[in-house]
Amino acid sequence: MDCNTATLSEIEDLLRRFRFKEVLSDDTSSKTIWLLGTIATTNVTSVDDEPPVPGQNAAIVVLERLAFSPQTIAKADCSLDSVLLATGERNDVYAWATGDARVAALKPDVRIALTYPATQKHIDKHRRQQRKWVCETPELYAKVTKPFIDSQPASRIQWVYNILSKQVESEHILFEDPDPERGFVIVPDLKWDATNMDNMYLVAIVHRHDLRSLRDLTNSHLPLLYNLRSKAVVAAQKYGVSSDQLRLYIHYQPSYYHLHVHITNVLLEGKGMLAGRAHLLDSVIDNISNIASDYYQRATIPYVLGSSDELWSHWAAHQNTSSDEPTTIST
């Protein structure tokens, strides 16, 4: 049994033992739903009443309907002679229905992501919650955000170090520059099915461990950023995506504190590209090369946090003890 087969078998076993407890949230625009449950100790058919315990038996399963791939459909049989409909209506020349298309070219049609054992941070991240608008000044970054980042255990990004050291996913690395100062790896993002080029989504993870977020960047890091930008174009061309079809950006706040750059097809739209989170790489380069070398140490950066986000609890605590409260808006 090869490595991929073994991994698939392990995932299938975990999913068979998944016991649903609640819906954390859903997104109708992306046809995605986040489920919280437990992983039973054995693959039994009886209902497991044990509650999810973060860090132990808790598990999060994400189900996402995959986008249609024109390239795949064009090459395959798209006959609808096996269609099975459940509901339908017709009005003059228009008809609509729901059901199972049963088209071979459309299978598989669901992408599944599993987090196990899920921590409380994982659960809070995906649970539906209020949104808070924060205006982070350099002073508030130093008082609130940086201490929070400094307190994060290295174990939370061990999976990043595993990729960089090629302990896992080495076969998925599309490009690597091993230079310790200006190097990085480029891998497909887990959210991309690697088939529909309109949804191409890659991530560049830098080798340096001292760069944790946008706030750390200065003009001394321009060789790294220029190198990354040029090599991202090369990596995307492997999928037929040209330089004028690319969107490169950095999240702030990021989902994990190790500098990485998102590389997507401009046709891909999503919450990750929204104002208040995404900072275009070209703008980042321009700001620190033409405006101020320490631009991101001096700038006020607004962003959105969830009310259950661990960082928001630090902001809320600061508001309760200080008069220089950040501007926040619940949405």
**What is the set of active-site residues?**
260
Instruction: Specify whether the CB–CB gap between 305 and 330 falls below 8 A.
Output: no
Going by C-beta distance under 8 Å and a sequence separation of 6 or more, which residues neighbour residue 257? Answer: 149, 152, 157, 212, 213
| Residue 252 known to bind ligand | yes
Any binding-site annotation on 82?
A: no
Q: Is 192 annotated as a binding residue?
A: no
Rg, the chain, Cα only: 22
In angstroms, rounded to a whole number, what is the distance separating the alpha carbons of residues 246 and 267?
Answer: 9
Q: Tell whether 257 is in a known binding site.
A: yes
The annotation status of 256 as a binding-site residue, yes or no, is yes
Contact assessment for residue 197 and residue 183, using Cβ atoms and an 8 Å cutoff: no
Q: d(Cα 71, Cα 105) in Å, to the nearest integer?
A: 10
- Measure the CA–CA gap between 118 and 121, rounded to whole angstroms: 8
C-beta neighbour count of 270 within 10 angstroms: 14
The answer to the question of whether 122 is labelled as a binding residue is no
- The answer to whether 114 is annotated as binding is no
Instruction: Output phi, psi for 265, to 5 deg.
Output: -70, 140
For residues 123 and 301, give the distance between their C-alpha atoms in angstroms, rounded to a whole number: 26
Is 258 annotated as contributing to ligand binding?
yes
Per the listing, tokens 């996402």 go with 64
Question: For residue 117, what are the contacts with CB-CB under 8 A and spacing of at least 6?
Answer: 39, 54, 55, 56, 57, 58, 59
Q: Is 207 annotated as a binding residue?
A: no
Say how far apart CA 56 and CA 234 lie, in whole Å.
42
As a whole number of angstroms, the distance between CA 280 and CA 247 comes to: 7
Annotated binding residue 141: no
Chain-centroid distance of CA 246 in Å reads 17
In the numeric block, which tokens belong to residue 40?
């039973």
Check whether 169 is labelled as a binding-site residue: yes
**How many C-beta atoms surround the C-beta of residue 82 within 10 A?**
10
Q: Is 249 annotated as a binding residue?
A: no
Distance between first and last Cα of the chain? 50
Residues at the binding site for substrate are 159, 169, 189, 191, 251-262
Residues at the binding site are 159, 169, 189, 191, 251-262
